[in-house]
Structure formats: C-alpha cells, structure tokens
Amino acid sequence: MIRYDIRGDASWLTLDRPEKKNALHLDGWRALRDGLDRAAEDSRVAVLTGVEDVFCAGDDIALIDEAETADDVETLTDCLYDVFFGIESLDIPVIAAVNGLAYGGGCELVAACDLAVAVEDATFALPETTIGAYPPYAVERVAETVGKKRLMELALTGDPIDADRAATWGLVNRVVPAGQLAETTTQFVESIANSPRRSTRLTKQYAAVGAADPAARDRIRGAFQQIRADDECRAATKRFFER
C-alpha cells in the first residue's frame, strides 16, 4: 500500500492502492506515518506521491462508515491526527508530488506538506460534507494557508479546484507538465539538501509553532462523534456506497 524507496537525498513514499484511487484505510494511514518516521532517519527530505494518475482520494469511505462507537471514532481521529500533525512536526521537510486527483484526506495531505508540486491536470477537493463527514485537519489548519473564505468554498461545496487555482490560493508551490513532476520535485530536494540539517530543521520547527495544539485532537474527535451520531450524516455516507 505504501512503497518506500530512497532516491538521492530523499525518501519517496508512494501510495499504491490504485483499485481504491490510493485511498487509505487505517493500516495505510499507519504505514504512512511509519514511513515518514523512517524517512526522517534515512534522508534529508520526504516526498509523498501516488501511482498512476491519482495522488490520494483520502480516506477509504469504509473508514467513516465503520466509525460507529466512541472507540472507533477515537481510533480514526488519532490515526489522522498522527499523520497530518506528524508531517508538520517531522524533523525533515515533506514535499507532496501531486500526480493527479487529491481529494479529502489527500487534499489535506497536500496542505500538511511543507512544499507541493502538482501536475497541470491535478484537481483538489474536500468533499467530506457531501458524504456526511467533515475534513478534520482542513478546518483546523488549511484556512491559515488558503484563507477562510477559500477553505469554506472547498469544505462546504465539495467542488474541486484545478491546479492553477490551487497554486493561486497557496495550496501548491508549482504547477508543471506531468513529465516534469519528478524533475521539479528533485530540484526542491537538492536545494534543501544544500543547507545544513539544523538550519532546515529549525526553520520548519518555528514555522509550525502552535501546530501541535493539544486541544486539536479533542476537537476533531468530538466533531466526529457528533457526526457519527447524526442520522442525516450517516445516511449520506450510506448513499455514497449506493452510487
């Protein structure tokens, strides 16, 4: 589900679940967190990407549908929290090499990364509200990147935006032709690797001051508990499986 390989100064983590558009279940999110921790030991930079023409469709919707009890919600929210906020607190920079669709948790992964390069036909969306859920990391952090009104457009409508708009909004740094994705990402890696480790680590650390808000986990968990107890939200999730 998560392929790991080292290329020069970077550890590349490739989401490899094409039959589910690289959507992640709990095991996938945990493997991603483990891979990021490994990358911090092995390399100067971590790169996240996906297989084929999809970056990540986010959570496997079964995750949301199966979160019925308080314990289920706690497990799910803790797992997501550990990945998104874990990226922010990782000792090394993390780059999203967005090779295609980035929806839901996939869009939130892009937002969590320190840098992002996207192919021209990449699209970004936060469709959680349309299936009776909500984007936990986005409502905590993404407004700081794109602005509240833009976050509300993404999160309340669920409508996708293209790569150029994502760049204008500040969600990605560069938009490139598909054939230049790896090259441009590698250029970022090489530039970062030219600087001392301590300099890059401290720069990232102080840019993320306040990221690990101890109250965030409880807010996310509480919101999920309310959603899973709501009949209308649960019905919306069920309708997703009936499409």
Sequential pLDDT tens for the chain (243 residues): 899 999 999 999 999 999 999 999 889 999 999 999 999 999 999 999 999 999 999 887 776 667 677 777 778 778 888 999 899 999 999 999 999 999 999 999 999 999 999 999 999 999 988 888 888 888 888 888 899 999 999 999 999 999 999 999 999 999 999 999 999 999 999 999 999 888 888 888 777 655 455 666 676 667 666 766 778 777 877 776 666
Q: For residue 239, which phi and psi values (nearest 5 degrees)?
A: -65, -30
> What's the token pair of residue 241?
């499986």
User: Is 231 contained in some domain?
Assistant: no
User: Is 216 contained in some domain?
Assistant: no
User: Is 211 contained in some domain?
Assistant: no
DSSP class of residue 20 equals G
User: Is 204 contained in some domain?
Assistant: no
User: Is 224 contained in some domain?
Assistant: no
How far is it, in rounded angstroms, from Cα 196 to Cα 31? 29
Which DSSP string do the residues of 226-241 spell out, in sequence order? HHHT-HHHHHHHHHHH
User: Is 200 contained in some domain?
Assistant: no
Give residue for tokens 């192919």. Answer: 119
Residues 175, 107, 56, 110, CA torsion sign: positive
> What's the token pair of residue 154?
């993404």
Tally the domains of the chain.
1
Give residue for tokens 């589910």. Answer: 20
Are the C-beta atoms of 134 and 77 separated by less than 8 Å? no
Query: Count of CB atoms within 10 A of residue 218's CB?
Result: 11
At residue 87, the pLDDT reads 95
User: Is 212 contained in some domain?
Assistant: no
Which CATH number do you get for residue 86? 3.90.226.10
The helix, strand and coil proportions of the chain, stated in percent and rounded to the nearest 5, come to: 55, 20, 25
> What's the token pair of residue 123?
């699209």
For residue 92, what are the domain limits? 2-193
How far is it, in rounded angstroms, from Cα 98 to Cα 122? 7
At residue 41, the pLDDT reads 97
Residues with catalytic annotation?
108, 128
Helix (H, G, I), strand (E, B) or coil at 88: helix
At residue 133, the pLDDT reads 81
How far is it, in rounded angstroms, from Cα 44 to Cα 95? 11
How far is it, in rounded angstroms, from Cα 177 to Cα 199? 31
pTM of the predicted model, to two decimals?
0.88
> What's the token pair of residue 185?
């990402």
> What's the token pair of residue 21?
């558009």
How far is it, in rounded angstroms, from Cα 90 to Cα 217? 18
For 2, 7, 133, 221, the CA distances from 228, given in Å and listed in that order, are 28, 42, 8, 11
